[in-house]
Amino acid sequence: MIQYVIDGGRPLIGTVLTGGSKNALLPILAATILYGGPCEIHRAPHLSDVENLLETLRYLGAKTHFCGDVITVDTTSLNRYDLPAEYTGRCRASISFLAPLLLRFGRCSVAYPGGCAIGARPINYHLEALRALGNFRITENGCGVEVQGTFTGGSYSMPYPSVGATECALMAACFSPMPCRIEGGALEPEVEDLAGFLNACGGRISFVKGIWQSEPAPFYLHDQTLRYTVIPDRIEAGTFALAIAATRGEGRILGCNPAQMQGVIRLLRATGAEVVSGQDVLLVRGRNRRLRGCDLVMAYPYPAFPTDLQAPACAFLSTCYGKSAVLDTVFPMRYAHVSELGKMGARIALAKAPGGEPYISILGGQLRGGRGESTDLRAGAALLIAGLCGKGRSVVTDRGFVARGYEAICEKFRGLGGRIWENRIY
Ligand code: EPU
């Protein structure tokens, strides 16, 4: 258990550096199996989810090494195709092993994935993608899924642009003996990064007129080291942007890609914060400004406002005068932070739209120090932002959620002048 202790009420001012994207790196780690040789992945953040996937790769027979921000993985000697719940239960991204194991062994057995409790997270689209792109026998036994068969190629029209299922489909497609088409897939930059990695492995994936396509490519084990650098973490960068504005500070976020952050940039500007974007830098100014709330912030698949910034945005909007409303269409039950933010002075509540769907209603004001508990990764980030804003001391308890997705978050906030420390309490 971690306890974050925060003395809030000071503007965050200065410069912070963005790390590599967690959600790009995790499927890429699973996809190293499709290279079948030594891979060097650069700009890798030290996160518990990353450690979990490295441990999983070692269990499967791969060799891994993590030094600085470079991960080396060699999957040449992979010798297992089963993943028990002991490994998959810790991290949602462990479902990314499905297609790579199938390609290497023609079969796999993967227990259902765990991960943050942010609502239902089924894998039906992943399995539909496999059925559409291969000739597989798929058995679900209540604890996980067993799959056996071969990739044949084909097309899959996705009922919803699920990030994980699109990634599964791309991994299934890239070494198919016949062309593949994936319509209605996710467009998140992390998916594009995975496609870039798969092409570096020898795949022939392209994105034409809104459709992911792949041409047949041979799969073989490689001797030469593949070097790949993951994209910057737009969610980490967005979290800092919201924190800087929420504390009415002024800061530069370096090493990010503002072109992939348009949803959060639009929100910040709509409240009256000043945002200036360069090629790999974002300047955020909330200093001496009276920021106003936003009529309706809707989390949708990319390029709209991201669900992963919904909770941090709620903390920010709780500091902006007037009313705001926030609706998450991606994970419609991702609202556990609402009651916790309330403990830190936020005037925030769950409400029901005329159609019956829940949304978050916020009336901005002054936050104050309080005690909250993080219930998932992004809810944890929201509470830290609230703690940095509220005058007085806040204590946020966290069962390791924040470390799943934010590297050295306290050091980074302290670099901006935040007074925040973490204690391991047991
Ligand atoms: N869904 C289904 N069936 C499926 C797959 C998804 O119904 O087979 C539904 C989910 O229940 C959800 C929606 O589709 O309501 C979106 O799920 P998606 O598959 O897009 O999400 P994911 O792949 O499980 C990734 C990120 C999440 C991020 C979402 C949406 C990783 C490891 N995780 O999850 O990141 O919120 O995409 O952008 O890439 C986080 O970083 O905090 C996090 C939760």
- Output the pLDDT for position 121: 81
Which mutation among 162, 234, 300, 374 tests ligand 1's pocket best, with the greatest number of atoms within 8 A of CB?
Answer: 162
Does residue 119 carry a pLDDT above 90? no
Ligand 1 geometric centre to CA of 82 (Å)? 23
- How much is the average pLDDT of 252-268? 98
18 vs 22: CA distance, rounded Å: 11
- Output the pLDDT for position 353: 87
Closest by CA to 229, choosing from 251, 207, 257, 252, is: 257
- CB of residue 375 inside a 6 A radius of ligand 1: no
- Output the pLDDT for position 103: 95
Residue nearest to atom 18 of ligand 1 (CA): 162
CATH node for 2-19+232-424: 3.65.10.10
DSSP structural state of residue 305:
B
| Catalytic residue chosen out of the listed positions 116, 201, 320, 389 | 116
Q: Is omega for the bond preceding 179 within 30 degrees of 0, making it cis?
A: no
Q: Taking every pair of C-alpha atoms in the chain, what is the biggest distance, in angstroms?
A: 62
Closest by CA to 372, choosing from 346, 349, 407, is: 346
- CB of residue 300 inside a 6 A radius of ligand 1: no
Inter-residue contact 97 to 108 (CB < 8 Å): yes
- Is residue 357 exposed (0-12), middle (13-18) or buried (19+ Cβ within 10 Å)? exposed
Nearest atom within ligand 1 for CA of residue 378: 42
pLDDT category, 91, cuts 50, 70, 90? confident
- CB of residue 26 inside a 6 A radius of ligand 1: yes
Distance from the Cα of residue 148 to its chain's centroid? 29
Inter-residue contact 99 to 176 (CB < 8 Å): no
- CB of residue 377 inside a 6 A radius of ligand 1: yes
Does residue 178 carry a pLDDT above 80? yes
- CB of residue 206 inside a 6 A radius of ligand 1: no
Helix, strand, coil percent content, the chain, rounded in steps of 5: 35, 30, 35
pLDDT category, 217, cuts 50, 70, 90? very high
- Output the pLDDT for position 141: 87
Domain 22-229: top CATH class: alpha beta
pLDDT digits (tens, 9 = 90+) for 319-373: 999 999 999 999 999 999 999 999 999 999 999 988 888 999 999 999 999 999 9
- CB of residue 94 inside a 6 A radius of ligand 1: no
- CB of residue 162 inside a 6 A radius of ligand 1: yes
Does residue 272 carry a pLDDT above 90? yes
- How much is the average pLDDT of 100-114? 94
Nearest atom within ligand 1 for CA of residue 161: 20
Domain 2-19+232-424 and domain 22-229, same fold? Reply is: yes
Residue 139: CB atoms within 10 Å: 11
Ligand 1 geometric centre to CA of 249 (Å)? 32
> To 10 degrees, the CA torsion angle through 41, 19, 239, 54?
40
The better pLDDT of the pair 412, 113 is held by 412
- CB of residue 405 inside a 6 A radius of ligand 1: yes
Sheet arrangement for strand 63-67: 63-67, 70-74, 38-42, 226-229
Residue nearest to atom 26 of ligand 1 (CA): 23
Does residue 49 carry a pLDDT above 80? yes
Query: Could you give the angle at which helices 310-317 and 234-246 cross, rounded to 10 degrees?
Result: 10
Ligand 1 geometric centre to CA of 331 (Å)? 8
Does residue 116 carry a pLDDT above 70? no
Inter-residue contact 43 to 19 (CB < 8 Å): yes
Ligand 1 geometric centre to CA of 118 (Å)? 10
Nearest atom within ligand 1 for CA of residue 188: 38
- Output the pLDDT for position 11: 98
Q: How many contiguous H segments (helices) and E segments (strands) does the chain have?
A: 14, 24
pLDDT category, 142, cuts 50, 70, 90? confident
- CB of residue 208 inside a 6 A radius of ligand 1: no
pLDDT digits (tens, 9 = 90+) for 369-414: 999 999 999 999 999 999 999 999 999 999 999 999 999 999 999 9
pTM for the whole thing? Answer: 0.97
Nearest atom within ligand 1 for CA of residue 376: 42
Q: Which residues are 393's β-sheet partners?
A: 7
Please, how many CA atoms are within 13 Å of residue 76, restricted to the half-sphere of its CB?
11
pLDDT digits (tens, 9 = 90+) for 4-39: 999 999 999 999 999 999 999 999 999 999 999 999
Grouping H, G, I as helix, E, B as strand and the rest as coil, residue 253 is strand
- The mean pLDDT value of the chain amounts to 96
In sequence order, what are the residues at sequence separation of 6 or more whose Cβ sits closer than 8 angstroms to the Cβ of residue 76?
36, 37, 38, 221
User: Where are the chain's structural domains?
Assistant: 2-19+232-424, 22-229
- Is residue 320 part of the annotated active site? The answer reads no
b/e map 173-200, b = 16+ CB within 10 Å: bbbbeeebbbeebbebbbbbbbbbbbee
- How much is the average pLDDT of 211-238? 96
